[in-house]
Each structure stands twice: as C-alpha cells, then as structure tokens.
Amino acid sequence: MNALSPTLLDPKPAPSDKALVPFVSVETMMRLVHRVGLEAMLRDLAEAIAEAFRRWESFDKTARIPAHSAEGVIELMPTADGELYGFKYVNGHPRNMKAGLQTVTAFGLLADMHTGYPVLLSEMTLLTALRTAAMSALAARHLAPEGARVMAMIGNGAQSEFQAVAFKAICGIEEVRLHDIDPLATAKCARNLDGHGLRVVACGSAEEAILGAQVITTATADKRLATILTDNMVGAGVHINAVGGDSPGKTELARDILLRAEIFVEFPPQTRVEGEIQQLAPDHPVTELWEVLAGRKPGRTGAAQVTLFDSVGFAVEDFAALAYVLGKARETGLHDRLDLIADPDDPRDLFGMLMRAHP
Amino acid sequence: MNALSPTLLDPKPAPSDKALVPFVSVETMMRLVHRVGLEAMLRDLAEAIAEAFRRWESFDKTARIPAHSAEGVIELMPTADGELYGFKYVNGHPRNMKAGLQTVTAFGLLADMHTGYPVLLSEMTLLTALRTAAMSALAARHLAPEGARVMAMIGNGAQSEFQAVAFKAICGIEEVRLHDIDPLATAKCARNLDGHGLRVVACGSAEEAILGAQVITTATADKRLATILTDNMVGAGVHINAVGGDSPGKTELARDILLRAEIFVEFPPQTRVEGEIQQLAPDHPVTELWEVLAGRKPGRTGAAQVTLFDSVGFAVEDFAALAYVLGKARETGLHDRLDLIADPDDPRDLFGMLMRAHP
C-alpha cells in the first residue's frame, strides 16, 4: 500500500466540490514556507496572532482538553470566533525522541461555523513550531528591553532554531548563545543556524549562555519540575521567554525568579495549571498578553524590570496560524483536496449515495 | 486545482512510514461497506460497540465539547482506553439541508496513546450513520419486547434507512412503517429500502405509522422542542428508540411518555443535557446501557413495559467504530496514507528537515 492507492487516484463518481476539504500536508507546508520565505512567514504569523489577540474578546476560549498516559499527553485545543471554528490535535511525549519519534506532533482544522463544514485540514507539527516562535518574538517585542541584541537559547531541540530565527526577524536579535545538556543538540542547532544571519555562540553551561544576553529563552522538554534557571542567574533588565514548561508538573524556572518578575501569560486558566506559575499562588498577579497587544495595559515599563512570558501555547494562536495558512494555500494553490465529507446529491439521501456506490 | 495536485503525487523526499497516517476517505468507506456487506457491517459494529460497553469503566469519559452558533453546533467527542485515543469531529446544522448540504458531517481519528501518533484518520459521516443505527439496534435487542417484528420509523431523513436495515439485521424486524412530514422523504426512504428484505409501508400520519408497531424509532432533525410522539400515541409493551433529540433544546417526545417509561441512556452527564430527559428532573432515575450489556442490570423486565432508549450518541461508540474500521482497513488494504505528521530523521531536527526541503 503506498500513498497513491487507487482510491485516491480514481475516485468515481468524483466527489463534488463541497465534499473536498483543502489539505496542507507536511510536504506542502514546507513548500509554502519556502514560497513565502521563512522570516517573512514568521513575521506574517506574528502579525496574524497579534490581530487575533487584539480581538481576544471575540473568541470562545477554553483550556485545552487533555488525555494523559504514562508516556505523555494528547490534547485538543478548540476555539471559535463566530465565523470560523478551529481546533488543533497535539501530543507531547518526551520519551518519543529516544524511539526516533517527534516529541510533539500536531495537525489542525478550520471549519465554517455557519455550515459546520471543514474548510482546511493541515499538518501542524511544523506550523506549531513556527507559530510558537512567532508568538514568543511577538511577546518579546513588547517585553524585551529596548535595544536587545543578544539572546541565550537554553534547550537546543526541535524548537530552538525557529525561536532564534523569529527573534532575528521580529525583534532584531543579532547573537544567539546556545546551551543544551546534550552537546550534540547544540551542534545541530548551530549547524542549522549557519547562514541565517545570526552570530551563533555554543556555550558549555547555562551560565555562560546568559552572559550579556538581554533575552533568555528556555525550551527544554523534560516532563518534570526542572530548574533550568536558578535565581542568581537572572539579573535585572532581562526578558525571559519560557517556552518549555507547558504541562502540569513541568516547569523550568526557580520559583524565586517568578516572585520578582512581571509575568505575562496567554490564557490564565490554562497557564495557572500548565505554566511556570503553577509554582505560585492561584491569585498571583499576571498580565494577559492580549491586553498589552490591544494597548490596554503596558508591557515593559522600566529598563531594570525582569519580564517573563510564561508561554504554554493557546488555541487562538493556532486559529490565527491556520487562518493564515488557509489564505496562503488559496492564494498559491499549494494544497491538495481530501474526500473527507460525504456529499450526496440530496442531503437526506446518504443511504442512496452509499447504495449507488455498489461496485 | 484538482484532487491530484503535484504535492500528493510527487512528494520528495518521500515521507517515512511513521509520517504517513492511514486515511479512509468517503469513497473508501463506501468500498469497505460493500466489501464487508451492509448488514454484516452493521452486525459487526453492534458487536464492537457491545464489546466496548462491556468494558465501559476502562474508558476516560467526558461530555462532548460544543461550539454553538446561530445555525448549529460543532462538537469534539474524545475518549481513550489507555491504549488508544479517539475523537470525532461532528457538526449538526439543521438548516444545511435547504442549502443542499448534510445536516450532520463528521470525521474521526485514532491515535496510539504511547506515542501520541495518529494511526487512523477516517470519514465519519457514513460511519456515524452506521454506528448510530447499530447502537439503536443493539439497545433494542435488550429492550424491545420479545418477538418484535414491526417498527414505526418517524422521520425519514438521512438516518432512517440505516435504522431500518440495522433493526432487520440485528433485531429481526420484518416491517417498517414510514412517516415524515415531508412525503418526499418517505418516498425516498421507501425507494431506498426496496430490495433490502423488509416490508415497507408508507403512512400518512405518525398515528398510522405506529399501528401494530412494537418498536417506535423517532429520527427527526428540527433543532427545537418538538412533540413527535404525544402521550396517547404510545401504548403498553412498546420500545421507543429516540434518535433525533440530541442537543440542548431539541427533543421529540411528550414529557408524559418519559414519566411512564423505563429510560436507558449512554452517558448520563451528556444525556441529561442533550437527550429527551432534559425535560425531567436532574435526578430522575435512568439506567446506563453499559450496565445492561455487562449483565449488571436487566433490560426489559416485563411485556407491558414502555422502554425508551434516549439516544444522543457517545464517544465510546465512535471509538469502537473507528477501531473496527482500522482493523478492516488493515485487513483489506482499503485505505490511503496521508502525509500528516512531520518525521525528520533526527526528531530534534525539524528545522533541518524544513531547510533541506528548499527547492
């Protein structure tokens, strides 16, 4: 059985237009990224997310719906804005890497709320990596100290290069200082960033990586309470972009850092459970990032502040990314079409459609 | 753009096996039904659902997650048994029919809980119609009066023929008496059932349809509190299979019928909100169907009882149907494979995979 079995090549009678759902495969997503350009796409995604965050109140919001197993979690992340409905399927299985599998894979869907018909099915493993990096850089544009040019990148796994390129494209970062407990990961990250216009410095310790950095990004994958950053490592005037802590029992920062930081989050009911702030009291003050993007609350207010974006990823970001991809897929023609929805001539005649298909 | 765009025909480098998710399209599902045989597949699905219901306690259960709009609802229905995770996307848009669209469309997914990787993506518009009918007939096997041979089928839309054939294949129903407020729907249903081994009687009223029927199935689609059956229409010794009332504010039966019926439901927290029993007090006694299937509680206990299966559809049924389809798709080779999951050689090297795909 290969990818081109007869049923896909020769569907007769051909399903009607209504029955065919635009589909962006992994291969197609890669083509789309190269067609648009990586940095341009990261900037576009940041703008798409900013636009969605500015109209935050128009979205139905709910914490993601998890299914836990011993090895990891599978989550559904739905949201809707009255016109479009979107959801993402995403897993997080830290031990997958040892079996040669992705820690995080994802796909997503958009549907027309007026009919319930899907309008896009898309891979989202790549798209999640892109939108997560775009979200981080978008937040940093409002939270990092002015003139920030150096970023420490702690954790050099699958997300790290996307973060580095996004911070270059969106925040003007010029130097990234890499550290990972696995030197092979750092070497891979440095190799991949070659030619992307960044000064790349491989560092033997987290302490070395944060030397001179105005932005500290943590993106490690262990599913446990880890302390990637201790209190004495974080000086004044730094922005921390904490990407890795994103499920109950998984954090990266020492609690003391949180106590002296201005904390910005996506959706508090979700971040309180999954983010770094699961270490704090449930009423510890945080600022919702959408309020900053909508101009209702300030971002960074002083050069000496420690700011923290406690990133866990929220459905509205995926919605914005999918809506952007739908537009680009239509504009470029880069998509397939899937026979996912039954569409009998008479909508009440599903049975007749089935019977007429008798070989 | 057609269904065979170059990205699907010529994916290079070819995604690895891990990246390809088995996919059952509408076309493929129709082939599968004809390969297995319609009645055999309905019996198989009933057995698959019964097996899942007998181990009900092994499933994570949650009420479905809805997104409402003025026109209808989109729902996610997840469940998991520790080994496999499944969810269904389904919409219900009663006004769709007038626009030539399906009222209900659906697709679903199964994933390996140990890795989070999807193992099946499948159309579920047809599969939902099949499993709903199989579920109804399975319930009736335990609840209908002994020797029931005549069923009234009120509401002759997309679900009606599936119900009729399932009750023939699973419960020994020999005669179906059709009624719909739209005579064209009844004519379509009667035409479709021709040759399926049932005596089919078209009736001008619901009263006429229930004459001599031991089973009354209601499957109407209006999204409102309707009274398809009034109290005086339902005599002793009847089983009511109420399929159409399946969302808040949508019911089919007069409340007085409920008060004198033994009521059987799938998952009470969901049925209390969506089913006929939304008309009753929240503590009105009901029996969970899984307890009957597991032999813990009796089904029908007397010839004169009025029994009611207040069917709304539950995730475990979809899970069982998807698992059955996965087995059949593997056995018959009837499936395509979708490039849905990114799979770099080094799982940490998602960025490198993307960059190497540069045209």
| pLDDT by position in tens, chain B (length 359) | 333 333 333 334 455 666 799 999 999 999 999 999 999 999 999 999 999 999 999 999 988 899 999 999 999 999 999 999 999 999 989 889 888 888 889 999 999 999 999 999 999 999 999 999 999 999 999 999 999 999 999 999 999 999 999 999 999 999 999 999 999 999 999 999 999 999 999 999 999 999 999 999 999 876 566 788 988 999 999 999 999 866 677 788 999 999 999 999 999 999 999 899 999 999 999 999 999 999 999 999 999 999 999 999 999 999 999 999 999 999 999 999 999 988 888 888 999 999 999 98
Closest among B49, B106, B120, B31 to B76, alpha carbons compared: B106
Regarding whether B115 and B137 lie in a shared domain, the answer is no
Q: Which domain holds residue B152?
A: 133-313
Chain-chain contact of A350 with B111 (C-beta, under 8 angstroms): no
Residue A250 domain-assigned (yes or no): yes
Residue A2 domain-assigned (yes or no): no
Q: Which of B246, B256, B283, B339 is catalytic?
A: B246
Q: Read out DSSP for B95-107?
A: GGGGGT--S--EE
Sequence-ordered list of residues with C-beta below 8 angstroms from that of A344, at least 6 positions apart, any chain: A350, A352, A353, B102, B158
Q: Which two tokens stand for residue A109?
A: 């869907």
The answer to whether A185 and B348 are in contact (CB under 8 A) is yes
Low-confidence ranges of chain A (pLDDT < 70): 1-18, 222-225, 245-247
pLDDT on residue A103:
85
pLDDT on residue A13:
45
Considering only alpha carbons, which residue of chain B is nearest residue A33?
B354
Between CA B37 and CA B45 the distance in angstroms is 12
Q: Which chain A residues have a beta carbon less than 8 Å from that of B27?
A: 7, 11, 15, 339, 357
Q: Which chain A residues have a beta carbon less than 8 Å from that of B30?
A: 353-354, 357
pLDDT on residue B97:
83
Q: Is A91 left (phi over 0), alpha (psi -120 to 50) or beta?
A: beta
Residue found under tokens 């009222």: B103
Chain-chain contact of A339 with B3 (C-beta, under 8 angstroms): yes
Q: Which chain B residues have a beta carbon less than 8 Å from that of A117?
A: 91, 101, 105
pLDDT on residue B5:
36
Q: Read out DSSP for B236-271?
A: TT-EEEE-S--BTTBEEE-HHHHHTSEEEES-HHHH
Phi, psi values for residue B257, rounded to 5°: -65, -45
Sheet holding A336-339, edge to edge: A65-68, A73-80, A84-92, A106-112, A118-123, A20-24, A336-339
Residue B122 Cα, gap to closest chain A Cα (Å): 7
pLDDT over 90, % of chain A: 81
Residue A10 domain-assigned (yes or no): no
Regarding whether A307 and A332 lie in a shared domain, the answer is no
Closest among B326, B315, B324 to B86, alpha carbons compared: B315
ipTM of the complex: 0.92
Residue that terminates a domain, selected from A298, A313, A328: A313
Q: Which two tokens stand for residue B182?
A: 């739209």
pLDDT on residue A346:
87
Residues in chain B: 359
Regarding whether B292 and B324 lie in a shared domain, the answer is no
Residue A95 domain-assigned (yes or no): yes
Sequence-ordered list of residues with C-beta below 8 angstroms from that of B269, at least 6 positions apart, any chain: B63
Chain-chain contact of B7 with A97 (C-beta, under 8 angstroms): no
Regarding whether A326 and A202 lie in a shared domain, the answer is no
Chain-chain contact of B336 with A8 (C-beta, under 8 angstroms): yes
Per the annotation, the verdict on B180 as an active-site residue is no
Q: Which two tokens stand for residue A289?
A: 């990032």
Residue B68 domain-assigned (yes or no): yes
Regarding whether B275 and B155 lie in a shared domain, the answer is yes
pLDDT on residue A11:
37
Considering only alpha carbons, which residue of chain B is nearest residue A3?
B337
Q: Which chain A residues have a beta carbon less than 8 Å from that of B8?
A: 3-4, 8, 25, 336
Residue B256 Cα, gap to closest chain A Cα (Å): 31
pLDDT on residue B226:
74
Phi, psi values for residue A213, rounded to 5°: -85, 135
DSSP B282: T
The answer to whether A140 and A215 are in contact (CB under 8 A) is yes
Regarding whether B152 and B91 lie in a shared domain, the answer is no
Between CA B44 and CA B133 the distance in angstroms is 12
Nearest to A26 among B3, B113, B339 (CB): B339
Considering only alpha carbons, which residue of chain A is nearest residue B350?
A158
Helices A160-171, A125-143: inter-axial angle, 10-degree rounding:
40
> Domain of A303: which CATH number?
3.40.50.720
Regarding whether B262 and B189 lie in a shared domain, the answer is yes
Q: Which chain B residues have a beta carbon less than 8 Å from that of A335?
A: 1, 5, 7
Helices (H), chain A: 6-9, 26-36, 38-54, 125-143, 160-171, 183-193, 206-209, 255-259, 268-274, 289-293, 315-332, 350-356
Closest among B329, B321, B263, B268 to B133, alpha carbons compared: B321
- The amino acid present at B67, given as its one-letter code, is A
Residue B40 Cα, gap to closest chain A Cα (Å): 15
Q: Which chain B residues have a beta carbon less than 8 Å from that of A334?
A: 7
Between CA A327 and CA A39 the distance in angstroms is 18
Nearest to A25 among B7, B69, B344 (CB): B7
Closest among B209, B220, B229 to B247, alpha carbons compared: B220
Closest among A278, A213, A207 to A241, alpha carbons compared: A213
Between CA B337 and CA A90 the distance in angstroms is 19
The 10 Å Cβ neighbour count of residue B189 is 28
Q: Which two tokens stand for residue A334?
A: 């880069």
Between CA B235 and CA B87 the distance in angstroms is 39
If you count residue pairs, one on A and one on B, with CB atoms under 8 Å apart, how many are there?
Answer: 313
Q: How many CA atoms lie within 13 A of A330 on its CB side?
A: 8
Residues in chain A: 359
H/E stretch holding B138: helix B125-143
Chain-chain contact of A82 with B92 (C-beta, under 8 angstroms): no
Regarding whether A289 and A241 lie in a shared domain, the answer is yes
Residues A252-273: b if buried by 16+ CB within 10 A, e if exposed: bbbeebbeebbbbbbbbebbbb
> Domain of A102: which CATH number?
3.30.1780.10
The 10 Å Cβ neighbour count of residue B260 is 12
Nearest to A109 among B1, B89, B114 (CB): B89
Regarding whether B277 and B243 lie in a shared domain, the answer is yes
The answer to whether A265 and A287 are in contact (CB under 8 A) is yes
Between CA B189 and CA B154 the distance in angstroms is 11
Considering only alpha carbons, which residue of chain B is nearest residue A94?
B115
Secondary structure of residue A240 in the 3-state scheme: strand
Sequence-ordered list of residues with C-beta below 8 angstroms from that of A331, at least 6 positions apart, any chain: none
Probe site for chain A from B132, B340, B346 (most A CB atoms < 10 A): B340
Q: Which chain A residues have a beta carbon less than 8 Å from that of B358?
A: 34
Residue B65 domain-assigned (yes or no): yes
Between CA B5 and CA B23 the distance in angstroms is 17
Sequence-ordered list of residues with C-beta below 8 angstroms from that of A358, at least 6 positions apart, any chain: B34
Q: Are strands B150-154 and B175-179 parallel, antiparallel or unpaired?
A: parallel
Whether residue B13 has a cis bond before it, omega within 30° of 0: yes
pLDDT on residue B16:
62
pLDDT on residue A224:
64
pLDDT on residue B14:
52
Secondary structure of residue A170 in the 3-state scheme: helix
Residue B53 domain-assigned (yes or no): yes
Regarding whether B190 and B171 lie in a shared domain, the answer is yes
Regarding whether A338 and A220 lie in a shared domain, the answer is no
Residue A94 Cα, gap to closest chain B Cα (Å): 9
Q: How many CA atoms lie within 13 A of B219 on its CB side?
A: 28
Between CA B40 and CA B46 the distance in angstroms is 10
Probe site for chain A from B20, B27, B316, B346 (most A CB atoms < 10 A): B27
Secondary structure of residue A64 in the 3-state scheme: coil
Between CA A148 and CA B31 the distance in angstroms is 60
Considering only alpha carbons, which residue of chain A is nearest residue B66?
A78
Residue found under tokens 């199989």: B134
Q: Which chain B residues have a beta carbon less than 8 Å from that of A14?
A: 3
Give chain A's domain count: 2
Nearest to A91 among B96, B116, B343 (CB): B116
Chain-chain contact of B25 with A5 (C-beta, under 8 angstroms): no
Residue B11 domain-assigned (yes or no): no
Sequence-ordered list of residues with C-beta below 8 angstroms from that of B19, at least 6 positions apart, any chain: A26, B339, B340, B341, B342, B343
Q: Which residues of A are catalytic?
A: 246
Between CA B91 and CA A74 the distance in angstroms is 22
pLDDT on residue A4:
34
Question: B192-212: per-residue pLDDT in tens?
Answer: 999 999 999 999 999 999 999
Regarding whether B160 and B30 lie in a shared domain, the answer is no
pLDDT on residue B100:
86
Probe site for chain A from B61, B76, B88, B105 (most A CB atoms < 10 A): B105
